Structure 1
Amino acid sequence: MSHNGPGRTHDLAHLAHVELLTPRPEESLHFFTEVMGLEVSGQEGESVYLRGWDDYEYHTLKLTAARTNGMGHCAFRAGSPEALERRVAAIEAQGLGIGWQGGDQGHGPAYAFHTPDGHRAELYYETRWYEADETTRPALKNQASRFPARGANLRRIDHLNLLASRVTPMREFFVDTLGTLLSEQIVFDDGSEKAAWFSMNSKSYDLAVSEDHSGARGRLHHLTYAVDSREDVLRAADICLEHGVFIETGPHKHSINQTFFLYVYEPGGNRFEIASAGARLILAPDWKVVVWNEAERRKGQAWGLQTIASFHTHGTPVVTGETP
């Protein structure tokens, strides 16, 4: 069983930024700047705005001090002002809209809404491009900023994985309402949808949605930034080891979408992934959804490593019975 939908509309250009909540803001900031190598673009109130060295926008991560962990909101940039209007109308027709927000340090007016599972999200078009200063200006003008040579040297935001109490309504929403392409999915023998991957551009996915085994709504599974190569992922594992960062699993390779991965927990308890930037591309206009069945999923990762149990149970904010 597969769900092709109407096909990718390109009304959503890409995943733009994610707001992570952390109860340990100073330690989380140290992790993202000194261990992962992100750059600080600005600060306002309880939030710090960060970006990878080749992210073109002002920020791709908004790190906010909070009493809990998890995701404050995620944001997608629309492909044009007209695309933004089309998708806002489609969201309003579903009754999931919150309304227009005045903007943030990194972008102009944004339309806020809830996903069917309760995650808060935004769409916007007007953005603030990052402007390098004397310390970050690159030698090559087609690069957003200078290579930091610090920590894991994260290059750019890559994708987001959301947990959901039910995958099917989320799949229908992102395909039918927001116009993304369903690239791959997991469907068990009883017909239940366990996970789905969505493409907004030529990358094989910007967003994934996985079933939340706790039954909770609106939680975060992980946020991912990309580095240039598998070797960089391996080096990131060494760097995390040196800094006492908890490594959950990897480095290894997923069967689905073939991502080479390393999963760690940042100090606030949120799962964070470092992945190689050599992601598969989807150029075919008539892409056929790749469907993984129950037996194939139970084989584990690409080279036979069984998926660690916490990968299916830990999400943020943490629910009763889980470890942060």
Structure 2
Amino acid sequence: MDEMRLWIGEPRFDLAHLAHVELITPTLDESVRFFTEFLGLIESGRKGNSVYLRGWDDYAHHTLKLTAGPVPMMEHFAFRVTSPEALDRCVAEVEKAGLGIGWIDGDEGHGRAYRFRTPDGHVVELIWDIEWYQPTPETKPALKNQASRFPARGCNLRRLDHINLFAVDVRACRVALQETLGMRFTEGIVFDDGSEKGAWLTSNNKGYEVAITEDATGTPGRFHHVCYAVDTREEVLRAADIAIEFGAPIEYGPHKHAIQQTVFLYVIEPGGHRVEIGCPGARLVVAPDWKPIIWSQAERQRGQAWGLQTVATFHTHGTPPVK
């Protein structure tokens, strides 16, 4: 356990939360329709060949950016930090680790940002200055402590919850996010040979915001899925009904994960990305000295919480596709 570096130094709180994800899609119009009409996200802007979307209770300008491109892939994902000073501290740690790419001027919805790569090649962005979503007359909520009106459309996704990265070296990516950004390791999978097959990390009191799982194809830097949250288990079941009416292909679920206990449904959007509709488990990680829960090879072979075996594509399907 010591060599796994389960806990790295004093807890840091320089990250606030997962902020947004940019996905490249070869079918932009169809992907936008999927995310708005089926999943119920709200369009908050367009610029060039990109469309910006958000869940109805996401406070920021956007949490998902869809950009037209020839091959489906995750262009980058972003964290918001807790202060300008926290941004400087994170950048210093990233540069010390030799993972830095550099600064960009910004984008729709946020100011200047610093980019770096995980050891597997995923692009990560750190931001502080953001634009809060301003409701239109059509999206203005009745309650002022709500970001926007409940859309009553499709699956009614409430907020961005987490992402899952595929990686060739799960341990290297996990440790890099812990050491550079101060993320906390909450749960993991370690097989009998000592290889690390999965890691779940958080920057706040949620159980996780980033999962990293081993890519069975051996291809570095790919993306597994993005998850948006709904409030109840029943809404996950209803999402499956809506999916078959909409013609959205269901890959896996509805069911309940053993790790983190999220009730889930996985669908594939027209561009090829996997999307999870999830009701996160009720457990919050509030203990400052939380010790990661480690799952063994035998425990994972039992399947998910209620016994459903993991589908084979869960370990191979990702973006960009493997030729």
Greater CA deviation, 171-180 or 48-57?
Answer: 171-180
1: CA distance, partners of 2:22 / 2:275: 13
| Offset, 1:277 | 4.2
The answer for the alignment partner of 1:111 in structure 2 is 114
8 Å Cα contact 1:164-1:218 kept in structure 2: yes
| Offset, 1:35 | 0.4
Identity %: 61
The answer for the alignment partner of 2:288 in structure 1 is 285
Among residues 194, 219, 223, which one is paired with 1:220 in the alignment?
223
8 Å Cα contact 1:8-1:199 kept in structure 2: no
2: CA distance, partners of 1:296 / 1:174: 26
Among residues 87, 90, 96, which one is paired with 2:90 in the alignment?
87
The answer for the alignment partner of 2:147 in structure 1 is 144
| Offset, 1:6 | 2.2
| Offset, 1:80 | 1.0
The answer for the alignment partner of 2:36 in structure 1 is 33
Is 2:308 the counterpart of 1:294?
Answer: no
2: CA distance, partners of 1:186 / 1:6: 22
Is 2:102 the counterpart of 1:99?
Answer: yes
Paired residue type of 1:299: R
- Give the secondary structure class of the aligned counterpart of 1:173: helix
Among residues 123, 128, 133, which one is paired with 2:126 in the alignment?
123
The answer for the alignment partner of 1:210 in structure 2 is 213
- Give the secondary structure class of the aligned counterpart of 2:260: helix
Paired residue type of 2:191: F
8 Å Cα contact 2:22-2:75 kept in structure 1: yes
2: CA distance, partners of 1:7 / 1:145: 37
8 Å Cα contact 2:225-2:273 kept in structure 1: yes
| Offset, 1:168 | 1.1
After superposition, the C-alpha distances for 1:213-262 in whole angstroms (9 at most, x for unaligned) are 11111100000000010001111111111011110010100000001000
2: CA distance, partners of 1:157 / 1:82: 25
8 Å Cα contact 1:228-1:278 kept in structure 2: no
The answer for the alignment partner of 2:72 in structure 1 is 69
1: CA distance, partners of 2:34 / 2:184: 33
| Offset, 1:8 | 3.6
Among residues 238, 243, 258, which one is paired with 2:241 in the alignment?
238
Among residues 311, 314, 317, which one is paired with 1:311 in the alignment?
314
Among residues 258, 274, 279, which one is paired with 1:276 in the alignment?
279
1: CA distance, partners of 2:80 / 2:210: 13
After superposition, the C-alpha distances for 1:62-117 in whole angstroms (9 at most, x for unaligned) are 00111000201100000111111100000011111111100111111100111111
| Offset, 1:4 | 2.0
Among residues 260, 265, 270, which one is paired with 1:262 in the alignment?
265
Q: What is the TM-score when the length of structure 2 is the normalising length?
A: 0.98
Is 2:256 the counterpart of 1:253?
Answer: yes
For structure 2, the 5+ residue unaligned runs are none
For structure 1, the 5+ residue unaligned runs are none
1: CA distance, partners of 2:281 / 2:149: 21
The answer for the alignment partner of 1:229 in structure 2 is 232
1: CA distance, partners of 2:57 / 2:276: 17
| Offset, 1:292 | 0.3
1: CA distance, partners of 2:70 / 2:190: 36
